[in-house]
């Protein structure tokens, strides 16, 4: 053996290969796993005195309200989402291309913003009711008023109007990748177009429907503003009030456990609905079905129908906010509060985004480096936070972070005689941690989809040309997955910016973001700079929507479907002549 | 067979995609109960032809009749669900969310549940999948999926079964087995069928007739032996089995080439240059007295025979011979060869294709 070769084998391993990467991935995965575990510990560690009270008076109502809300929102988003997806993929009419991305716009409006806007709009002395009364000739709000939006039905409608795009996106993706061959097979077996939709296209889209509905329902579960403003006492609202007004952390944790059980059930149902997901179209890229050209009259009808959710879910509330914001600024000028809040929001969201992308890339790369180890499983654990509502994450974090804050404060007191009160929570580190746990899944997913496009042979090439695993990552994988990471970063940033429940619970004292400002005004019933804050949130929220609509529809479709639905590897690609 | 209307009758059928013609004025009949192999290079329009017959695409002009009824042309267009065609797709297109039995039942209409069950069971039995009913497509092997697709397409009793490369996703040996079985089922059902393939051997082995297409037009249709032995063009000659082209000239009643004289056809005038195509199986070794000398360039053992690549003085192209149990040969050896004069396929040198 030559000296050079000997030198190469000098590094005899005691640790398994890539041990460092796997350990790092384990640390990242410990974040969501730890907060879930500490939630259990807090819940069990606290006194169970309150439990009979909760069980008798609080939980039954909260669970019933939550279940009613979820069922209502689920049905609404499934119907509107599937209908819209079918309309733009199976039919062709003037304006279809525009409608395809217009239908995404409500995604830019967080649930609490749509509730805020509609409450103002539909107020008994607001513009809509006023106009209706003027039209019908009534004098005063006492003589006539529309049914109150502050009801379960109102809450279902408002949440559904901004959450249906989840179903629309995922079902459209399925429709776009569904092989035309299957529908053609149905036609040659005697099925009409309508029948082919009900018997083949829709059942095949079941995984997409399940995914979209479960995402929408997780948002609904996560929501705190809309349900609270509209008087629906969901579990989330209950957790919030238990901690904020009664300072009962253990009680909040106990309710949060119930919530976690509910979320797990949701995820389980979604998994079950796509248990036979091997469906996937075998091998070669399927030919996409051709949309059918509608007659001008039918086309106009289809377009108007498709515009309804856009109108109510985006155009009306956004226009109202714009008008109110313009009025406010014209009358009072821009308060100095808003710029400070923009800065605050950008700071915490930006910090969380950087951490999420770095940790996400690390975990995804570890899983690629060491696919036969624990690393891929750790990557899955790292993404658990996407299913944990913000309140649950925070209640889980408060226990350990509170203890840690206490330790640091005591150490500072002992060592430097310094007075520190809650340094982690006070400096916003706790808030950033909560964001990271909640949105880490986006970072991991983004990095995974970026890495998946790099053929494995490239890794081998880099390594045989003298790069270490880390060097290959920096010089090859990072540049090649730049755009995927950038897209993920945008999503994370906007999600952090819109985040309300965790921000409310764990932000530093007197630290206001745009979202908490809006919440505060809505809770107090004052409508001052709220519209301005809401409008900014909506405007920034439009960025990822634009990104979503700009990436070619089919490409997004394929990517979403394979990234989110088909964790199963695809079969070998058939190489066969086209004829 | 003669009393029944043709299962499929195509008249001057054309299809253009944009400005690109894919089918040109194609006229073809498939008799009731007949199995027709449609063969040609990739992109020659054979799959498009199937889709037109099924009603999955609309023809640009021309007519299609199925079992005597006009389904496309003269302003008529019958939707695919009203055409009585069965279609077997290359990737089978089994409905992944339905069980095998539900897939086969999909096209059955107007039957009571028990009747439909009986039909489904009978078809599964016929394709050798009795008891597979409750399984799902992804649980089946490729060959099993293919048979489900066959049962599903045939169960409604279509006037014609259209098969688009139905065996190309299977490995060669399995493909051949399944092909025989499929043909047995088809013949037992008495269904007419059009089988699209790019494989000439499969086409000849499967079809009562073989139709060769080129660039959207029909080159030749006839029984397999005929298209193999008497190809209508140079290209057809080479398509069904590779052949070496010998330059020659008609002198009197024969076309003379470096490898001997061949009886001249009427298409070649006296004194005109001609090309004679000769297949490897028609070249054999001979003794020095009767053969043409040739130098062995390469010997390949292919199992049932040896393939020889030979150089003959005066010929640019090497000559290929397929011989059974030759004496031990190596590159560089000298042999003598003769060609069966009846096996030459002769075309005027001026013919383009």
With helix as H, strand as E and coil as C, how does A125-149 read? Answer: CCHHHHHHHHHHCCCCCCCCCCCCC
- Chain B residues close to A194, C-beta within 8 Å: none
E strand or H helix that includes residue A34 = helix A19-45
Domain for residue A574, yes or no? Answer: no
CB A302 within 8 A of CB A93: yes
Q: So what's the ipTM on this one?
A: 0.76
Contact A278 B56 (CB under 8 A): no
Backbone angles phi, psi at B38, to 5 degrees: -110, 115
DSSP symbol at A571? P
Compute the distance between CA of residue A440 and CA of residue A363 in angstroms, rounded to an integer: 10
Q: Hey, is A552 helix, strand or coil?
A: coil
In B, minimum Cα distance to A577 occurs at B42
Residue of B95, B142, B194, B239 to mutate when probing chain A, most A C-beta within 10 A: B95
Report pLDDT for A574.
Answer: 25
Question: Could you tell me which residues are beta bridge partners of residue B162?
Answer: B87, B194
Judge contact between B268 and B348, C-beta under 8 A.
yes
A514 within 8 A of A497, measured Cβ to Cβ: yes
Lowest mean pLDDT among A352-361, A482-491, A555-564, B73-82: A555-564
SS3 A275: coil
Are the beta carbons of A190 and B156 separated by less than 8 Å? yes
Nearest to A477 by CA among A491, A489, A463: A463
- The beta-carbon neighbor of B107 closest among A190, A280, A576 is A190
How confident is residue A430, by pLDDT bands cut at 50, 70 and 90?
A: very high
How many other C-beta atoms can be found within 10 angstroms of the C-beta atom of residue A83? 16
Q: Above 50 in pLDDT, residue A41?
A: yes
| Residue A290 belongs to a domain | yes
Is A184 within 8 Å of B54 when comparing Cβ atoms? Answer: yes
What is the pLDDT, as a whole number, of residue A276? Answer: 58
DSSP state of A110: -
Side-chain half-sphere CA neighbours of B154 within 13 A: 28
Of A188, A200, A574, nearest to B169 by CB-CB distance is A574
Q: Which helix H or strand E contains B275, and what residues bound it?
A: strand B273-279
The CA distance from A117 to B7, in Å, is: 66
- Residues A186 and A71 reside in one and the same domain: yes
**DSSP state for residue A90 in the 8-state scheme:** H
Question: Which residue from B minimizes the CA distance to A202?
Answer: B97
DSSP code, position B333: -
Query: Residue A545: inside a domain, yes or no?
Result: no
Residue A555 has pLDDT above 70, yes or no: no
CA dist B304 → A257, A308, B281, B324 (Å): 73, 72, 12, 7
**Neighbour-count burial for A12-25, b at 16+ CB within 10 Å, e otherwise:** eeeeeebeebbebb
pTM of the model: 0.79
Neighbours of A444 (CB within 10 A): 29
Residue-level pLDDT at A147: 76
β-pair type (B273-279, B319-323) = unpaired
A354 CA to chain B: closest CA distance, Å?
A: 42
Taking CA B168 as the corner, what is the angle to CA B167 and CA B170, rounded to the nearest 5 degrees? 70
Distance from CA of A563 to the nearest CA of B (A): 20
What are the beta bridge partners of residue B61? B14
Do A250 and A101 fall into the same domain?
Answer: yes
Alpha-helix runs per DSSP H in A311-455: 316-332, 337-369, 375-382, 390-416, 423-426, 429-452
Nearest to A188 among B43, B46, B86 (CB): B86
Question: Is residue A572 a part of any domain in this protein?
Answer: no
Please state the domain count of chain A: 2
Closest to A235 (Cα-Cα) out of A217, A216, A213, A262: A262
d(CA A384, CA A567): 15
Residue numbers in A near B89 (CB within 8 A): 181, 184-185
In a domain, A273, yes or no: yes
Q: Which whole number is the average pLDDT over A200-214? A: 88
pLDDT of residue A281: 44
Q: How many residues does chain A have?
A: 579
Supply the pLDDT for residue B238. 83
A273 touches chain B (CB under 8 A): no
A275 vs B: CB within 8 A:
no
To the nearest whole Å, the CA of A302 is away from the closest chain B CA by: 23
Q: Is A573 on the interface with B (CB under 8 A)?
A: no
Note which residues in 123-182 of chain A have CB less than 8 A from chain B.
Answer: 179, 181-182
Flag the least confident range among A10-14, A479-483, B86-90, B206-210: A10-14
Spatial distance between the Cα atoms of B278 and B245, rounded to a whole number of angstroms: 7
Residue B25, SS3 per DSSP: strand
Shared domain for A93 and A155, answered yes or no, is yes
**How far is CA A28 from each of CA A437, A445, B218, rounded to the nearest angstrom?**
9, 14, 66
**Chain A nearest-CA residue for B87:** A188
pLDDT score at A576: 27
Of the partner residues A203, A574, A579, the one whose CB lies closest to the CB of residue B42? A579
Report, in this order, helix, strand and coil percent for chain B, each rounded to 5. Answer: 25, 35, 40
Q: Identify which of B91, B95, B156 has the shortest CB distance to residue A282.
A: B91
pLDDT value for A425: 79
Rounded to 5°, the CA angle B281-B282-B284 comes to 90
Same domain membership, residue A433 and residue A295: no
Whether the CB of A202 is below 8 Å from some CB of chain B: the reply is no
Domain boundary among A527, A543, A573: A527
Decide if B81 and A187 are in contact by the 8 Å CB cutoff: yes
- Residue A438's pLDDT band (boundaries 50, 70, 90)? very high
Ranges of residues in chain B with a pLDDT under 70 are: 1-3, 352-353
Residue A5 lies in a domain: no
What's the gap in Å between the CA of A193 and the closest CA on chain B? 9
Tell me whether residues B95 and A200 touch, CB distance under 8 A.
yes
- B83 to chain A: which residues are within 8 Å by CB? 188
Q: How far is CA A473 from the centre of its chain?
A: 28
The answer on pLDDT for A554 being more than 80 is no
- A188: nearest CB among B45, B85, B94: B85
Least confident of A41-45, A176-180, A312-316: A176-180
Neighbours of A579 (CB within 10 A): 22
Determine, for residues A188 and B81 on separate chains, whether the beta-carbon distance falls below 8 Å.
yes
Whether residue A378 sits in one domain with residue A480: yes
On the CB side of B108, CA atoms within 13 Å amount to 21
How many CB atoms are closer than 10 A to CB A121? 19
Question: In terms of domains, do A248 and A100 share one?
Answer: yes
Could you tell me if residue A1 is inside a domain?
no
Q: Residues A61, A35: one domain?
A: no
Question: Is residue A249 a part of any domain in this protein?
Answer: yes
CB proximity A191 to B under 8 Å = yes
**Subunit contact B81:A182, Cβ cutoff 8 A:** no
Residues 6+ away with beta carbon under 8 Å from B59 = B13, B14, B15, B23, B52, B72, B73
- Asked if the model's pLDDT at residue A277 lies above 60, the reply is no
- Chain A residue whose CA is closest to B135: A276
Beta-carbon-side half-sphere exposure of residue B152 (alpha carbons within 13 Å): 32
DSSP assignments along A424-473, one per residue: HHHTTHHHHHHHHHHHHHHHHHHHHHHHHTS-HHHHHHHHHTT--HHHHI
Residues A344 and A286 in one domain: no
Provide the 8-state DSSP code for B303. S
Alpha-carbon distance values, A258 to A265, A272, A388, A392, B53 (Å): 11, 21, 12, 10, 60
Dist. CA B6–CA B30, nearest whole Å: 6
- Give me the domain span that covers residue A272: 49-126+146-308+553-565
Using 50, 70 and 90 to split pLDDT, how confident is the model at A46? confident
pLDDT above 70: percentage of residues in chain A: 90
CB count in 10 Å sphere of residue B162: 27
Residue A568, chain B, CB below 8 Å: the answer is no
Q: Which domains does chain B have, with CATH numbers?
A: 8-235 (3.40.50.300), 242-348 (2.40.50.140)
Give the whole-angstrom CA distance, residue B110 versus residue B125: 22
Q: Distance between CA atoms of A169 and A89, rounded to whole angstroms?
A: 11
Surface of A (48-87) touching B: CB under 8 A: none
Burial of A346 (0-12, 13-18, 19+ CB in 10 A): middle
> Across the interface, which of A280, A283, A577 has its CB nearest the CB of B198?
A577
Average pLDDT, whole number, for chain A?
Answer: 84
**Three-state SS for A210?**
helix
pLDDT computed for residue B34 by the predictor: 94
**Between chain A and chain B, how many beta carbons pairs sit less than 8 Å apart?**
100
CATH code of the domain in which A232 resides: 1.10.3720.10
Chain-centroid distance, C-alpha B254: 32
Please give the torsion angle defined by the CA atoms of residues A431, A437, A443 and A448, in that order, rounded to the nearest 10 degrees.
170
Per-residue pLDDT tens digits for A74-100 = 999 999 999 999 999 999 999 999 999
A2 near B CB under 8 A = no
Angle, alpha carbons A295-A316-A110 (nearest 5°): 110
Together in a domain, A341 and A205: no
CA distances B280 to A461, A484, B238, B258, B306, Å, are 45, 56, 11, 16, 10
Q: Answer whether B89 sits within 8 Å of A181, measured CB to CB.
A: yes
pLDDT given for residue A571 in this prediction: 28
What 8-state DSSP symbol labels residue B7?
S
> In this structure, are A152 and A301 located in the same domain?
yes
Confidence check: pLDDT of A552 > 70: no
Domain match, A33 and A102 both: no
Claim to verify: residue A88 and residue A231 sit in the same structural domain: yes
Nearest to A355 by CA among A436, A449, A437, A451: A436
Gap between the Cα atoms of B324 and B303, Å rounded: 10
Q: Which residues of B touch A195 (CB under 8 A)?
A: 81
Which of A226, A288, A371 lies closest to A89, judged by CA?
Answer: A288
Check residue A336 and give its pLDDT: 82
**What is the secondary structure of B114-147 as a DSSP string?**
HHHHHHHHHHHHHTT-TT-TTS-GGGS-HHHHHH
To which H or E segment does residue A174 belong? helix A152-177
Give the span between the Cα atoms of B212 and B221, in whole angstroms. 6
* Opening angle at CA A304, ends A298 and A305, nearest 5: 85
Tens of pLDDT, residue by residue over A120-151, are 888 877 788 878 888 887 777 777 777 788 88
């Amino acid at each position: 053996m030559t000296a050079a070769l000997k030198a190469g084998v000098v590094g005899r391993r005691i640790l398994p290969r890539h041990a460092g990467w796997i350990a790092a991935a384990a640390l990242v995965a410990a974040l969501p796993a730890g907060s879930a575990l500490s939630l259990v510990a807090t819940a069990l560690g606290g006194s169970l005195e309150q439990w009979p009270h909760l069980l008798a008076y609080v939980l039954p109502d909260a669970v019933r309200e939550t279940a009613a809300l979820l069922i209502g929102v689920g049905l609404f988003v499934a119907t509107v989402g599937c209908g819209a997806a079918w309309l733009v993929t199976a039919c062709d009419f003037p304006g279809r291309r525009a409608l395809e991305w217009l239908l995404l716009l409500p995604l830019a409006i967080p649930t609490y913003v749509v509730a805020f806007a509609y409450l103002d709009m539909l107020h008994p002395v607001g513009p809509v009711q006023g106009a209706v009364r003027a039209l019908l000739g009534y004098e005063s709000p006492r003589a006539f008023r529309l049914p109150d939006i502050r009801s379960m039905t109102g809450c279902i409608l408002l949440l559904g109007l901004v959450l249906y795009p989840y179903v629309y996106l995922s079902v459209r993706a399925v429709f776009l990748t569904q092989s035309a061959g299957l529908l053609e097979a149905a036609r040659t077996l005697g099925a009409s177009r309508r029948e082919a939709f009900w018997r083949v296209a829709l059942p095949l889209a079941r995984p997409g429907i399940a995914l979209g509905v479960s995402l929408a329902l997780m948002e609904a579960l996560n929501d705190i503003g809309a349900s609270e403003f509209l008087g629906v006492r969901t579990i989330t609202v209950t957790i919030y009030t238990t901690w904020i007004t009664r300072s009962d952390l253990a009680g909040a944790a106990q309710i949060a456990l119930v919530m976690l059980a509910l979320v797990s059930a949701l995820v389980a149902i979604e998994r079950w609905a796509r248990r036979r997901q091997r469906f996937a179209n075998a091998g070669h890229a399927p030919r996409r079905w051709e949309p059918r050209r509608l007659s001008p009259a039918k086309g106009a009808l289809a377009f108007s129908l498709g515009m309804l959710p856009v109108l109510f879910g985006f155009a009306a509330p956004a226009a109202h906010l714009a008008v109110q914001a313009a009025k406010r600024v014209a009358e009072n000028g821009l308060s100095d509060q808003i710029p400070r809040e923009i800065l605050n929001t950008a700071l915490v969201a930006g910090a969380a985004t950087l951490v999420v992308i770095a940790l996400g890339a690390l975990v995804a790369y570890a899983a690629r480096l060491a696919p036969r180890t624990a690393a891929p499983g750790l990557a899955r654990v790292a993404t658990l936070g996407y299913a944990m509502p913000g309140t649950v994450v925070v209640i889980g974090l408060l226990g350990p972070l509170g203890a840690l804050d206490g330790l640091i404060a005591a150490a500072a007191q002992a060592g430097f005689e310094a007075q520190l009160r809650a340094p982690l929570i006070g400096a916003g580190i706790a808030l950033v941690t909560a964001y990271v746990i909640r949105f880490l899944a986006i970072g991991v997913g983004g990095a995974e989809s970026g890495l998946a496009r790099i053929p494995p042979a490239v890794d081998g090439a880099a390594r045989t040309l003298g790069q270490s695993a880390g060097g290959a990552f920096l010089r090859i994988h990072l540049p090649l997955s730049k755009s995927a990471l950038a897209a993920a970063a945008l999503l994370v940033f906007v999600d952090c910016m819109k985040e309300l429940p965790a921000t409310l619970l764990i932000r530093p004292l007197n630290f206001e973001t745009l979202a908490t400002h809006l919440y505060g005004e809505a809770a107090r019933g004052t409508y001052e700079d709220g519209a301005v804050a809401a409008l900014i949130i909506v405007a920034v929220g439009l960025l990822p929507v634009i990104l979503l609509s700009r990436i070619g529809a089919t490409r997004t479709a394929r990517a979403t479907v394979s990234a989110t639905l088909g964790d199963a590897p695809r079969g070998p690609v058939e190489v066969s002549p086209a004829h | 067979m003669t009393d029944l209307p043709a299962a499929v009758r195509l008249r001057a059928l054309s299809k253009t995609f944009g400005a690109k013609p894919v089918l040109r004025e194609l006229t073809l009949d498939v008799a009731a109960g007949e199995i027709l192999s449609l063969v040609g290079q990739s992109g020659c329009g054979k799959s498009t032809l199937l889709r037109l017959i099924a009603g999955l695409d609309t023809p640009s002009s021309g007519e299609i009749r199925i079992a005597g009824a006009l389904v496309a042309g003269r302003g008529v267009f019958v939707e695919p669900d009203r055409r009585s065609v069965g279609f077997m797709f290359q990737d089978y297109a089994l409905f992944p969310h339905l069980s095998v039995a539900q897939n086969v039942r999909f096209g059955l209409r107007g039957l009571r549940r028990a009747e439909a069950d009986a039909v489904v069971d009978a078809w599964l039995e016929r394709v050798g999948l009795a008891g597979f009913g409750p399984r799902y497509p992804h649980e089946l092997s490729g060959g099993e999926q293919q048979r489900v697709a066959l049962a599903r397409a045939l169960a409604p009793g279509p006037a014609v079964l259209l098969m688009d490369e139905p065996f190309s996703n299977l490995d060669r040996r399995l493909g051949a087995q399944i092909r025989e079985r499929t043909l047995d089922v088809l013949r037992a059902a008495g269904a007419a069928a059009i089988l699209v393939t790019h494989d000439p051997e499969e086409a000849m082995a499967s079809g009562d007739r073989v139709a060769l297409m080129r660039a959207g037009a029909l080159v030749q249709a006839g029984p397999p032996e005929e298209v193999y032995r008497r190809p209508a063009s140079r290209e057809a000659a080479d398509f069904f089995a590779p052949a070496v082209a010998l330059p020659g000239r008609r002198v009197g009643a024969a076309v003379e080439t470096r490898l001997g004289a061949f009886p001249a056809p009427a298409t070649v005038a006296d004194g005109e240059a001609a090309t004679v195509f000769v297949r490897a199986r028609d070249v054999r070794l001979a003794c020095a007295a009767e053969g043409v000398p040739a130098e062995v360039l390469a010997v390949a053992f292919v199992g049932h025979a040896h393939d020889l690549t030979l150089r003959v003085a005066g010929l640019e192209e090497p000559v290929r011979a397929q011989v059974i149990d030759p004496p031990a040969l190596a590159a560089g050896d000298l042999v003598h060869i003769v060609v069966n004069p009846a096996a030459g396929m002769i075309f005027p040198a001026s013919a383009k294709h």
